[in-house]
Amino acid sequence: MKRIRVILVLLLKNNGLYKPHKFKNPKYIGDPINAVKIFNEKEVDEIVILDIDATTKKKEPNYKLIEEIASECFMPMAYGGGINELSQAKKLFKLGVEKVVLNYAAYTNPHLIHEIASQYGNQSVVCSIDVGKNWLGKYYSALINGTKSVKETPIDLAKKYVQHGAGELFITAIYKENTYSGYDIELIKSITESVSVPVIASGGASSIKDFTDVINIGRASAVAAGSLFVFYGKEKGVLINFPSPEKLKNELFSKL
Amino acid sequence: MIGIINYEVGNLASIKNMLKKIEVDSFFIQDSSDFSKATKLILPGVGSFDYGIQQLESKGFMEIMENQVLKEKKPILGICLGAQLLTQSSEEGEKKGLGWVNATTVKFKTQLPVPNMGWNDIKITQENKLLKDFHDIPRFYFVHSYHFKFNEEEQVLAYGNYDYDYACAFQKENILGVQFHPEKSHKFGMQLLKNFSQNL
């Protein structure tokens, strides 16, 4: 049976977990360590933790908090936010982080991708691309929590990052985040057709059916979701949840 | 007390974290004199084969490890690259492996993307002390471009599948190795490490 990674994305801000809507108005979810403990019990495949404040506020990664999270995280863990130098990546790997996620630094200093990959292997570097859509429906790449658009298209950046040694690409559709309207399959497909490394689809997941579609049609290698696993019902009350291994097997893996 | 061999290749913190979670005492072996304090050894590792061997050499661990494992028969568990180093050689490098099991390490021959990264079910092929009591089909987290190739099937404990079946866990007396990462495979990894600490 083919297993696809279902990745949980948690966003950090001031030591807490938050969930924005289309990259805006973050809503408080809870304590990260508690949440990770619960997700462990639920046998999550893999976790991505992104500090959404670090680059905007020019902060270093919060090593103490990351260390605490990593010590409770018995699944593969990736961290992103505020990484600009090899030495920072090194420190993170030492704390128990498997992969680092580069977004702003990948764009401003792509050589860093190569530096980290050549020492820790390509599998340890994930490059993240945030994608916006303009009023004509054209895709653009954006930096700093979607606030700054750049001239290169998402496909341009994807190719460039892979050339520099990215082992995986994490593609987030900003206009889909926290909307429960399904992944942008067309966007993901355009990226998977342009590169050979695994592509993780993020933004818009509302059901296991969405996972199946973005994998079967968009050719994503893994699926990521945040809102789906932390909110519940119409009112979006905070409720940590994750599909059981049984459910994933019957509704996802068996349909690939 | 489990000694986790620190030869500065890859991530040791997660192994110690998981052992702590299952209430097994462990410490990092920093230099040769630390080996005598350990009753069991774990050889972790992420990275390239030659770099791994070179690091064991430059830390001066080769001879003492041989003594500990082959003469004193201390149980050793290799994880990922750590397990590959226990084989005779690797297609990834030029250097000779420790050669304690009758196997080599070879590159994946497949059209599928390499590295194989993600969770895979494993197939246990014989009753053994390391892979047991999982209460579910065991699955583990893998990240690798190379895998073990055994000349003697009887040393193979389990197979993984990525395009084709390949050996992913082995045992020869007190020498054990796994290709996957128990320290990142939640309840299955905890059970495996519990088994290593209690049964071997």
pTM of the full predicted structure? 0.92
Tell me the C-alpha distance between B68 and B73, whole Å: 6
Sort strands B26-29 and B2-5 into parallel, antiparallel or unpaired.
parallel
**Token representation of residue A237:** 């009350």
| Nearest beta carbon to residue A95 from set B13, B20, B189 | B13
- Residue in B with minimal Cα distance to A67: B13
Instruction: Kindly state the tokens that stand for A44.
Output: 């999550």
Which of A74, A192, A199, A242 would you mutate first to test chain B, the one with the most B CBs within 10 A? A74
Mean pLDDT by 10 residues, chain B (200 residues): 91 91 96 97 90 95 97 97 97 96 96 88 97 94 94 94 96 98 96 97
Is B40 part of the contact surface with chain A (CB cutoff 8 Å)? Answer: no
Total count of domains within chain B: 1
User: B180 at the A interface (CB within 8 A)?
Assistant: no
pLDDT for A12: 95
Whole-number Å distance between alpha carbons of A207 and B107: 37
CB contact under 8 A, B13 and A71: yes
What is residue A2's predicted lDDT score, i.e. its pLDDT?
Answer: 81
Q: Which residues does chain B have within 8 Å of residue A250's beta carbon, measured at their own beta carbons?
A: none
Residue A237: the pLDDT is 85
Looking at residue A233, what is its pLDDT? 73
Q: Quick one: pLDDT at residue B115?
A: 85
Pick the CATH number of A5-255 from 3.30.70.380, 3.40.50.300, 3.20.20.70, 3.40.50.970: 3.20.20.70
Model ipTM?
0.87
Measured between beta carbons, the chain A residues lying within 8 angstroms of B143 are 76, 98, 123
Q: What is the CATH number of the domain that holds B169?
A: 3.40.50.880
HSE at residue B157, side-chain half, CA atoms within 13 A, is 20
Q: CB contact, 8 Å: B14 with chain A?
A: yes
Interface test with A, best of B8, B19, B55, B119 (most A CBs within 10 A): B119
Q: What is the pLDDT along chain A (256 residues), one digit of tens a residue?
A: 788 999 999 999 989 999 999 999 999 999 999 999 999 989 999 999 999 998 888 899 999 999 999 999 999 999 999 999 999 999 999 898 999 999 999 999 999 999 999 888 888 999 999 999 999 999 999 999 989 999 999 999 999 999 999 999 999 999 999 999 999 999 999 999 999 999 999 999 999 999 999 999 999 999 999 999 998 877 788 888 999 999 999 999 999 9
B11, A98: Cβ pair inside 8 Å?
yes
CB within 8 Å: B113 and A197:
yes
pLDDT of res. A120: 85
Contacts of B4 in chain A (CB under 8 A): none
pLDDT at B8: 85
Contact: A74, B113; criterion CB under 8 Å: no
Catalytic residue status for B80: yes
Name the CA dihedral angle for B120, B129, B56, A119, rounded to a multiple of 10 degrees. 20
Q: Concatenated DSSP letters for chain B?
A: -EEEE-SSSS--HHHHHHHHHTT--EEEE-SGGGGGG-SEEEE---S-HHHHHHHHHHTT-HHHHHIIIIIS---EEEETHHHHTTSS-BTT-SS-----SSEEEEE--SSS-SSEEEEEE-EE-S--SSS---SS--EEEEEESEEEEES-GGGEEEEEEESEEEEEEEEETTEEEESSBGGGSHHHHHHHHHHHHHH-
C-alpha closest to that of B1 among B44, B43, B37, B42: B37
Give the catalytic positions of A in this structure.
130
- Whether omega for the bond prior to residue B182 falls within 30 degrees of 0, making it cis, is no
Picking from B21, B117, B120, the nearest residue to A198 by CB comes out as: B117
User: By CB neighbour count within 10 A (0-12 exposed, 13-18 middle, 19+ buried), where does A151 fall?
Assistant: exposed
The pLDDT mean for chain B works out to 95
Range of the domain at B189: 2-199
**What is the Cα–Cα distance from B162 to A37, expressed in whole angstroms?**
31
Secondary structure of residue A231 in the 3-state scheme: strand
Q: Is B147 a catalytic residue?
A: no
In single-letter form, the type of residue at position A30 comes to G
Q: What is the pLDDT of residue A208?
A: 95
Contact B136, B185 (CB under 8 A): no
User: Is B186 known to be catalytic?
Assistant: no
User: Taking CB atoms and an 8 Å cutoff, what residues of chain A touch B17?
Assistant: 70-72, 74, 96
Task: Supply the pLDDT for residue B44.
Answer: 94
Note the maximum CA span of chain B: 46
Domain boundaries, chain A: 5-255
